[in-house]
Amino acid sequence: MKDFNLKQYRVLVLFFCFVLYALNSSAQKIATSIDSVSIKIGQELTFKIEIEVDTSSLVVFPEGQTFLPLEMIESYQVDAVKTNDRFKLIKKYGLTQFDSGHYTIPQQKIVIGDYEFLTDSLKVEVRNIVVDTVKQGLYDIKPIISVEKSPSKWWLYTLIMLLILGVIGFLMYWFIWREKPLTNEEKVALLPPYDRAKLALQKLDNAGYLKNEEIKEYYSELTLIIRKYLNEKVYDHALESTTEELIGRLRLLKDGNQMDLEKDTIKNIETIFRRADLVKFAKSKPDPELAKLDRNTIDVEIDHVKESLPEPTEEELLADQRYQEELAEKKKKRKIIITVAAAITLLIVTYLGFSLHYGFAYVKDTIFGHESKELLEQKEWVTSEYGAPGITLTTPKVLERQNIELPEELKGKAQIIVFAYGEINDNINVVVTSSKFSSQPGPDGKTESKQIDLNQVAEESLSKFEKEGAQNLITKNEQFITPNGQEGLKTYGTGEFLIPNSDIHVKGNYVILGFSTENLLQQVVLLWKNDDVYADQIIERILSSVELIKLETEE
């Protein structure tokens, strides 16, 4: 009996769980759909999830790359529509795939409250883009269209450079070459010794030494005035000589008839010098009126010394003139040296500053020039389509069409168009080739399309390199996919290439891109010198720009 009741209890529990699950499931309605079951390569497919929930439910939609093997390219915002006490939520995803085939969109997990739900899986077909090379006629290259270039700003850069040079030149003129106004000290220094002595006596009168009873300072300044005058005009050791030595020298000059000095003049100078010595060393303190009298005596005796000096000879005048010219020349040389040193210092500091910021090699190449760098930094690169059907790529310079002579066996069967920039001995060589073959009748009389083996084409290109003198070629192959989803073969590596008309080989890199459909072969060949960082960047930019023009036919 107890076993029977236990079984009934279990059945009732299972029944209620089933009812609750059914009620919960019926409360949430989930539907998924896609806008198309078949898309072209790279076309966007819209995957839509619709959910009906009550207003209090929390819904978490799938995020991230949960749609593999399809790729989610965009997750759109959720749209919500309210009906009574329920919400209808619509979530859309943009999906795509770049390889053709049949794919299954996997089940997606949706969280509603505390419950998880899985959507249905859906199938989708990704189709190839059909290119009909049989119906597509052989057309010549489109004519060149001249495009007006945007205005250059060279004048602005020139103006800025001239402004900087003008500021530097003005600063050098102002601080180095400009004749600066003379200070009072400089003006006094340019006066003749006699005028300087007279001016010094006037300043002594206004100094206020006697008024402040500074007798020692007064006599020190008074004797220094006449010593300076005698030092410049009579005896060039007058400043450091003692009173006895200086007076003895004056008497010697008088006795030697080199100066026509009066004995009273020498006597007066000696008296004042000895009184000054007593004031400075014996702390004597003469009366201020006597000090004024000594000042007037020195004033008169300076005149007597001036009158006793012989007139300068012509040779002395010429020597003084040469001395002044030498001083002016030294001053000019000093200015030139300072200017050159300042300019060199400015250049070195500027070079080091730019080198630390941009790199020493970059600054060196900017100053002395580098062909690849100039190409890389060219403001306007050229994006153009070459051939028909064409290859679009971006290059520093436009590729020019080359005139080639077809072999007799290919005339009437193929059309080959070649565009190129540079040569094998230049820093960069770019060649684009578009070869289109006419369909030929087979043994049964039906038209057959020409099948092109890209690996064989790459081998032929490498053989052509070797015929032109290339050696030590290292080769690698890998798949190449353009930004618009076109697949091709990339053959790349390094080698030593022969410069035409010489025996010199240079190390370089190469890339051969090959694309083919029925009756059509398209190639891009890139050659550039080894260890050229600017050329590496140019090639990388060119490769990232390669696209094939898609030709679609109506289904």
**Could you give the percent of the chain with pLDDT greater than 90?**
12
What is the pLDDT, as a whole number, of residue 4? 44
Kindly report the average pLDDT of the chain as a whole number.
Answer: 81
Which three-class secondary structure state does DSSP give residue 350? Answer: helix
Q: How far is C-alpha 131 from the geometric centre of its chain's CA atoms?
A: 45
What is the pLDDT, as a whole number, of residue 21? 46
What is the pLDDT, as a whole number, of residue 524? 92
β-bridge mates for residue 110, sequence order: 117
Distances (CA, A) of 477 to 51, 251, 474, 505: 50, 109, 11, 24
β-bridge mates for residue 339, sequence order: none
> Would you state the structure tokens that stand for residue 68, as one six-digit string?
């593999």
Q: Which of 73, 103, 93 is nearest to 33 (CA)?
A: 93
Q: Is the pLDDT of residue 1 over 50?
A: no
- Total structural domains within the chain: 3
> Would you state the structure tokens that stand for residue 195, as one six-digit string?
């005028």
CA distance 255 to 249: 10
**Given the DSSP bridges, would you call strands 79-83 and 86-96 parallel, antiparallel or unpaired?**
antiparallel
Q: Is residue 383 part of a domain?
A: yes
Secondary structure in 3-state letters for 32-97:
EEECCCEEECCCCEEEEEEEEEECCCCEECCCCCCCCCCEEEEECCCEEEEECCEEEEEEEEEEEC
First to last CA, the chain: 75
Q: What are phi and psi of 276, to 5 degrees?
A: -65, -40
CA distance 470 to 463: 9
pLDDT band at 223 (very low <50, low <70, confident <90, very high): very high
Strands (E), 422-459: 428-437, 440-441, 447-448
Give the range among 13-17, 281-285, 295-299, 300-304 with minimum mean pLDDT: 13-17
What is the pLDDT, as a whole number, of residue 512? 93
Q: Is the pLDDT of residue 230 over 80?
A: yes
- Residues 217, 114, single domain; the answer is no
CA torsion angle for 408, 410, 413, 415 (degrees, to 10)?
A: -110
Give the range among 83-87, 219-223, 392-396, 508-512 with minimum mean pLDDT: 83-87
pLDDT band at 296 (very low <50, low <70, confident <90, very high): very high
Q: Is residue 281 part of a domain?
A: yes
Residues 6+ apart with CB under 8 A from 393: 383, 384, 386, 432, 524, 542, 545, 546, 547
- Residues 99, 195, single domain; the answer is no
> Would you state the structure tokens that stand for residue 286, as one six-digit string?
């003469």
Mean pLDDT of the 133-148 span = 60
Neighbours of 453 (CB within 10 A): 13
Give the range among 27-36, 71-80, 270-279 with minimum mean pLDDT: 27-36
Give the range among 13-27, 212-226, 333-347 with minimum mean pLDDT: 13-27
In this predicted model, what pLDDT tens digit does every residue of 502-543 receive, in sequence order? 888 889 999 999 888 777 888 999 999 888 888 899 999 999
CA distance 363 to 545: 28
CA distance 470 to 509: 11
DSSP H helices, 434-482, are: 454-467
Mean pLDDT of the 338-364 span = 81
**Which of the 8 DSSP states describes residue 426?**
S
Which comes out higher in pLDDT, residue 19 or 526?
Answer: 526
Secondary structure in 3-state letters for 23-44:
HHHHHCEEEEEECCCEEECCCC
Domain containing 281 — which CATH number?
1.20.120
Neighbours of 504 (CB within 10 A): 12
Q: Is the pLDDT of residue 148 over 70?
A: no
CA distance 301 to 321: 29
Last residue of a domain, one of 106, 127, 148: 127
What is the pLDDT, as a whole number, of residue 71? 87
Q: Is the pLDDT of residue 188 over 80?
A: no
Domain containing 35 — which CATH number?
2.60.40.10
**Given the DSSP bridges, would you call strands 487-498 and 505-517 parallel, antiparallel or unpaired?**
antiparallel
Q: Is the pLDDT of residue 196 over 80?
A: yes
- Residues 388, 505, single domain; the answer is yes
pLDDT band at 338 (very low <50, low <70, confident <90, very high): confident
- Residues 430, 508, single domain; the answer is yes
What is the pLDDT, as a whole number, of residue 352? 83
Residue pair 546/395 in contact (Cβ under 8 Å)? The answer is no
In this predicted model, what pLDDT tens digit does every residue of 457-487 receive, in sequence order? 888 888 888 888 888 989 999 988 888 778 8
Q: Which of 502, 521, 503 is nearest to 513 (CA)?
A: 521
Give the range among 73-82, 153-162, 221-230, 451-460 with minimum mean pLDDT: 153-162
Q: Is the pLDDT of residue 131 over 70?
A: no
Q: Which of 251, 248, 299, 242 is nearest to 274 (CA)?
A: 242
Q: Is the pLDDT of residue 309 over 90?
A: no
Q: Is residue 62 part of a domain?
A: yes
The domain of 391 spans 379-548
Domain containing 498 — which CATH number?
3.40.1000.10
**Which of the 8 DSSP states describes residue 545?**
H
Distances (CA, A) of 509 to 25, 233, 425: 65, 84, 12
Q: Is residue 262 part of a domain?
A: yes
Which comes out higher in pLDDT, residue 4 or 93?
Answer: 93
CA distance 34 to 94: 10
What is the pLDDT, as a whole number, of residue 525? 92
Last residue of a domain, one of 262, 277, 312: 312
CA distance 285 to 218: 11
- Residues 293, 385, single domain; the answer is no
- Residues 395, 492, single domain; the answer is yes
Q: Is the pLDDT of residue 12 over 70?
A: no
Q: Is residue 335 part of a domain?
A: no
Which comes out higher in pLDDT, residue 388 or 435?
Answer: 435
What is the pLDDT, as a whole number, of residue 60? 87
Q: Is residue 353 part of a domain?
A: no
- Residues 485, 400, single domain; the answer is yes
Residue pair 389/406 in contact (Cβ under 8 Å)? The answer is no
Distances (CA, A) of 268 to 43, 224, 295, 296, 529: 119, 16, 11, 11, 95
- Residues 84, 218, single domain; the answer is no
- Residues 390, 513, single domain; the answer is yes
- Residues 437, 540, single domain; the answer is yes
Which comes out higher in pLDDT, residue 58 or 441?
Answer: 58
Residue pair 372/535 in contact (Cβ under 8 Å)? The answer is yes
Which three-class secondary structure state does DSSP give residue 461? Answer: helix
What is the pLDDT, as a whole number, of residue 22? 43
Mean pLDDT of the 86-95 span = 88
Q: Is residue 217 part of a domain?
A: yes
Q: Is residue 362 part of a domain?
A: no
Q: Is the pLDDT of residue 138 over 80?
A: no
CA distance 116 to 440: 62
pLDDT band at 386 (very low <50, low <70, confident <90, very high): confident
